[in-house]
Amino acid sequence: MSTHVKEGDLNTRKSLRIWSVSDYCRQHQIGEADERRMRQLFGHFASASELLYNVNRNPRWRV
């Protein structure tokens, strides 16, 4: 669920970083399918922790 973040709330919670889903996926080399899925979950913006915990990554040892 997403809620509106007021500007005053951002000053009190410095650890909350809001990212554009497409920018986050581009910077972290996340595929289009995962980007589309996360945009359906969160919309165009989400916190960094929401994005981090909802990315499907393949193990590096399985190439």
pLDDT for residue 10:
58
* Confidence bin at 61 (pLDDT 50/70/90): confident
* Angle, CA 16 vertex, CA 29 and CA 60 arms, to 5°: 30
pLDDT in tens, 3-41: 777 766 655 555 578 999 999 999 988 889 999 999 999
Residue 56 predicted with pLDDT over 70? yes
Q: Domain residue spans in the chain?
A: 15-53
DSSP 7-58: HHHHHH-TT--EEEHHHHHHHTT--HHHHHHHHHHH-SEEEHHHHHHT----
